[in-house]
Chain A
């Protein structure tokens, strides 16, 4: 060993090339230890463990919250993870040699996907698209990447009604006349009698040639037998609707059922695919519903607020095409429950999970930052209401309106089909805090997005919050998750999030957070009315709650504002304890 006591270099230097002999020996010894005698690092096995861990980490919470019919969501995660394992195992991007931070594992022979995505190895098929390419994307972004991955298509651009398509052996994709990628079909037989491209992978648990019984047992299967011109199918949800195709000869016509031993010869997803599917119970002739979708105070089209939101989205997708945006089910977060937002042009649907069911909460029409101010074709607002009209014009169209608190400003509402429809005004056209004037212009129209009354115990607002009972921040030796306090009289529940997720590390004693109302509150934030933090620590868990004065009654939009800044101070470093959000007496995962 070198024991040279030469003047040490400045350890603060970042130039590792300027090491003295002692430092060089240290670096060499560490490198030798890191190499573990030259034993290779098994990156593929490492990814296997990580993917399994990620899937395990996510799946239980999803299953616990959404129940059996919702296992599909967990399956999404699991299947994607497993798919990625398959990718990693075959993907040359995993570098098993020495690597340094900042280097890239870009794959030789990788192919371009959308938005700079590179794809190599296998492509995972799901109900929302193919690998990185999602339904609704311009086909110009999709087709080149697929051709790079699968080779030149056997056929492309074939007219098929209002859709066009491309085919590689027994795999085909479809797109709409407007150039948006809309669907795929994979079968094990076709006119060319050739096998599908080998680099396409179905989600875990699905395979060509599986039996109907096996498909029924697949966690994503959620619906009964469906029919269209392609024959019978069993469908489920995996990033969107995904259907297993069965020979029509297997169907028992009187009962419209399929025997468990019937074989699945193909899979399809999206619209315009071999099977676009409509439940036989609602459309036995297989036709896709058409006609207008009227936005009303109590719902839209034939669907009322409170009905199965996922089903509404599925049916609307058949009418309107794939949505421009779909958040999928996320949270619990801002709404304190899981939520989903789906947008077609200027129409937004908001879904919430209530009693473990996905319900349609409301609709909003607005011009998004990236989107269009136009409604999808066939969708209509009530009574000639339109974005950009003045309040005077609105009143001329719908009659008298009533002022309401909206988005922290003043809006106007009227009754349509027994429920309120409200508009919020463009702040640029008038004051956001004064009563609306006739010249103010409509920024958005919405229905069904009222505040949950349980979160507004005092609809008059502004009452003095009660004093909270003292809670020691000294950790108790007990383990487990403490039960957070319910909102004291005169307060409502809030939720919070870390300003910087990286702050929640074992050494952290305090955290900067942003606090919002737990219910729809528009841009209103607790501000000076914030009470807390209310910190409860045990040896295994930390629960932090805040409360705030209630908002004035009336309708409030549900976008996510920045929140009121606050600091959580712990009695000791977080360590291995888990940090939770206390929301009105219940606990949410961070």
Chain B
């Protein structure tokens, strides 16, 4: 066989990245904001995810790029949360930081309280709920985004929702 010829070009790579960006950036920022509670952090996370995507986009099949991007965004968001937690030396930064400017802008007191309770949940449960009830991902997509088995994703989702209902009913 011949020496390898890679027809993909930098321009093509960047065209693909730009196309993916145009399709997914806003949606990813909204999802990351729902995860992190802060728009600025979310934008940083999503931009970093796209930068990482740019390094590998030619090796990721087009049909899986959105799923891959979800995974990177979720991982970046979790990394951001861990970094924030370590920096603040607090177990759950979002519980305390529930009153972000973003949440302050949420009109309903009930909604703000619900978000605060959500932020008290374990990270995986919280992430599963956000991906399900905000991003509209299927169980399979959630499992893929979190690197979990389908069964684990369903379990986290079910337990997270049950825990949130319980917390809400006690307050």
Q: How far is the CB of A128 from chain B (nearest CB, A)?
A: 8
Q: How far is the CB of B165 from chain A (nearest CB, A)?
A: 6
| Contact, CB under 8 Å: A1 / B111 | yes
| Contact, CB under 8 Å: B1 / A557 | yes
A33 with B115, Cβ < 8 A, contacts A41-B26, A502-B60 known: yes
| Contact, CB under 8 Å: B1 / A99 | no
In the complex, the chain B residue whose C-beta lies closest to that of A43 is: B25
A5 with B165, Cβ < 8 A, contacts A30-B134, A37-B106 known: yes
A12, A27, A30, A348: which has the most chain B beta carbons within 10 Å?
A30
A578 to B152 CA separation, bound complex (whole angstroms): 27
Q: How far is the CB of B19 from chain A (nearest CB, A)?
A: 8
Within 8 A of A (CB), among B16-74: 17-19, 21-27, 29-31, 33-34, 37, 39, 43, 46-48, 50-51, 54-56, 59-60, 64, 66, 68, 70-72
A341 with B6, Cβ < 8 A, contacts A30-B134, A32-B106 known: yes
| Contact, CB under 8 Å: A80 / B3 | no
Q: How far is the CB of B62 from chain A (nearest CB, A)?
A: 12
A255 to B118 CA separation, bound complex (whole angstroms): 76
Segment touching B, from A286-294, A322-330, A412-420, A530-538: A322-330
| Contact, CB under 8 Å: B27 / A101 | yes
| Contact, CB under 8 Å: A14 / B46 | no
In the complex, the chain A residue whose C-beta lies closest to that of B24 is: A101
Q: How far is the CB of A83 from chain B (nearest CB, A)?
A: 9
In the complex, the chain B residue whose C-beta lies closest to that of A117 is: B15
B154 within 8 A of A: yes
Q: Which residues of B contact A80 (CB under 8 A)?
A: 10-11, 14
A403 within 8 A of B: no
Q: Which residues of A contact B136 (CB under 8 A)?
A: 16, 100
- The number of A-B residue pairs with CB atoms under 8 Å apart is 265
A34 within 8 A of B: yes
A25 to B106 CA separation, bound complex (whole angstroms): 12
| Contact, CB under 8 Å: A43 / B26 | yes
A366 to B3 CA separation, bound complex (whole angstroms): 10
| Contact, CB under 8 Å: A23 / B157 | no
A97 within 8 A of B: yes
A36 with B3, Cβ < 8 A, contacts A50-B50, A50-B54, A505-B71 known: no
A265 to B85 CA separation, bound complex (whole angstroms): 57
Q: Which residues of A contact B71 (CB under 8 A)?
A: 502, 505
- Select B113's contact among A1, A11, A27, A364, beta carbons within 8 Å: A1
A341 with B9, Cβ < 8 A, contacts A33-B106, A41-B30, A501-B56 known: no
A258 within 8 A of B: no
Digit string of A436-460 for contact with B (CB within 8 Å is 1, else 0)?
0000000010000100000000000
Q: How far is the CB of B9 from chain A (nearest CB, A)?
A: 6
A377 within 8 A of B: no
Q: How far is the CB of B121 from chain A (nearest CB, A)?
A: 11
Digit string of B119-134 for contact with A (CB within 8 Å is 1, else 0)?
0000000000110111
A132 to B11 CA separation, bound complex (whole angstroms): 7
In the complex, the chain B residue whose C-beta lies closest to that of A52 is: B51
| Contact, CB under 8 Å: A49 / B27 | no
A54 within 8 A of B: yes
A47 with B21, Cβ < 8 A, contacts A5-B169, A505-B75 known: yes
- Select B51's contact among A57, A350, A576, beta carbons within 8 Å: A57
Q: How far is the CB of B33 from chain A (nearest CB, A)?
A: 5
Q: How far is the CB of A61 from chain B (nearest CB, A)?
A: 10
Q: Which residues of A contact B26 (CB under 8 A)?
A: 41, 43, 95-99
Q: Which residues of A contact B66 (CB under 8 A)?
A: 101-102
B135 within 8 A of A: yes
- Select B139's contact among A14, A19, A91, A98, beta carbons within 8 Å: A14
Q: How far is the CB of B37 from chain A (nearest CB, A)?
A: 6
Q: Which residues of A contact B5 (CB under 8 A)?
A: 325-327, 341, 343, 348, 368
Within 8 A of B (CB), among A44-86: 46-47, 49-51, 53-54, 57-58, 76-77, 80-81, 84
A11 with B21, Cβ < 8 A, contacts A1-B168, A50-B50 known: no
A76 to B102 CA separation, bound complex (whole angstroms): 40
| Contact, CB under 8 Å: A26 / B118 | yes
A523 to B164 CA separation, bound complex (whole angstroms): 57
Q: How far is the CB of A285 from chain B (nearest CB, A)?
A: 34
| Contact, CB under 8 Å: A11 / B154 | yes
Q: Which residues of A contact B56 (CB under 8 A)?
A: 501
A25 to B101 CA separation, bound complex (whole angstroms): 20
A513 within 8 A of B: no
Q: How far is the CB of B11 from chain A (nearest CB, A)?
A: 6
Q: Residues on A close to B: CB < 8 A?
A: 1-3, 5, 8, 11-12, 14, 16, 19, 22-23, 25-39, 41, 43, 46-47, 49-51, 53-54, 57-58, 76-77, 80-81, 84, 87-88, 91, 93-105, 117, 124, 126, 128, 131-132, 134, 239, 325-328, 330, 334, 339, 341, 343, 348, 350, 364, 366, 368, 407, 444, 449, 501-502, 505-508, 523, 557-560, 576
| Further pairs besides A16-B133, A97-B26: 12, Cβ < 8 Å | A3-B169, A29-B112, A39-B39, A47-B21, A53-B48, A57-B55, A84-B18, A88-B21, A91-B22, A95-B25, A330-B6, A523-B1
Q: List 8 A-B contacts (CB under 8 A).
A: A1-B109, A29-B108, A32-B106, A38-B105, A88-B21, A100-B27, A364-B2, A501-B60
> 8 shortest A-B CB distances, which residue pairs?
A37-B105, A1-B110, A105-B22, A53-B51, A29-B111, A34-B30, A559-B1, A30-B134
